[in-house]
Amino acid sequence: MINLPRVYIAHLPTPIEYLSRLTSYLGGPRIYVKRDDQTGLAFGGNKTRKLEFLVAEARASGAKTLITTGAVQSNHCRQTAAAAAKFGFKCTLVLAGGQPESITSNYLLDLLLGANVVWTDRSSRDDDLKLTFLELESKDERPYLVPYGGSSPTGAAAYAYAIKELMDQRIQPDWIVFPTSSGGTQAGLVAGARLLGFKGRILGISVDEAADQLKIKIAQLASEVISKLGIQDIFDENEILVNSDYCEPGYGVLTHVETEAIKLFAREEGLLLDPVYTGRAAGGLIDLIRKDYFSPSDTALFWHTGGTPALFAQKYGRTLGKI
């Protein structure tokens, strides 16, 4: 794998832990967790890995400002704001969903980290992002667009390197299970797996999009990642494993699937999940174990992608406080 330009932010390798009590409670595969919630940048998460490559690209392009977009409680925006602060960029966040009643969790952290926030809604998000970008350009703020979810081929490549890191940790999981949304994490993982001969299956639990569409996106992005890493190769959507059985209630909507998972991981292992991403993916993992999707002799690695600051958002506290 060729070495792409990179800055060093993340605390790597992230630890892997065996979840013995959860494993025996569920009676299924041996469950491990890889702690990308502990990547070290302003409460961490999977975007920190991507930002190591995105910030390097921004620097090389002579940018002065990082601009990106996401939901009000976006983990990606929070980590981008932190990376901007650390490397001396200004940061503009185009946040969709309207200004919340109270300044909490990721939104609070965005402000502490010095980001300039522009409000939009989901339907005009991309237009407002473009407009804001052009405005920054016209003021000579030299914006670099950090793509949605950090999921350009450059950002996603970080997770190909993460496969190398995992293999060096000498755990050979039969499965990697994690939340998938903009698809960059999964595209990087599958590209890395093919490049390095990693044999485990890589199952993304979709947080908000139907599997058919998401597989096409991920296959396309994985093909771009692998060519960026020096190998011309193509991924077919049929080899991308995505399960979207749990995303029907909508993005960020807590149901018994997420609340049970959050409670179980907390009470069996002292491990905190987030309400939007890892709560849903762990809920899917638990459900699939109960449906005998895995063999009891398998090893499943749950890749914790972060997001825990959202636990403190008012809208989730109301529900989570009751369990």
How far, in Å, are 4, 157, 206, 275 from residue 53 at the CA level? 7, 8, 24, 27
Single out the catalytic residue among 20, 24, 61, 74: 74
Nearer to ligand PLP, 136 or 265 (CB): 265
Rg (C-alpha) for the chain, rounded Å, is: 19
Q: How far is the CB of 225 from ligand PLP (least distance, A)?
A: 12
Which residues here bind ligand PLP, judged by CB under 6 A? 45-47, 75-76, 149, 151, 179-186, 274, 277-278, 305-307
Nearer to ligand PLP, 1 or 272 (CB): 272
Least separation in angstroms between residue 204's CB and ligand PLP is 7
Instruction: Give DSSP secondary structure letters for 181-236.
Output: SSSHHHHHHHHHHHHHT--SEEEEEESSS-HHHHHHHHHHHHHHHHHHTT------
The one-character DSSP state at 106 is H
Tokens linked to 175? 């499965």
Is 74 catalytic? The answer is: yes
| CB-nearer residue toward ligand PLP: 46 or 80 | 46
Taking the complex as a whole, the smallest distance from the CB of residue 174 to ligand PLP amounts, in Å, to 21
Q: Tell me whether residue 45 or residue 153 sits nearer to ligand PLP (CB atom).
A: 45
Phi/psi of residue 66, nearest 5 degrees: -100, 130
Name the residue with the smallest CB distance to ligand PLP.
307
Q: What are the C-alpha distances in Å from 144 to residues 23, 91, 152?
A: 44, 10, 13
State the nearest-atom distance from the C-beta of 149 to ligand PLP, in Å: 4
What is the set of active-site residues?
74
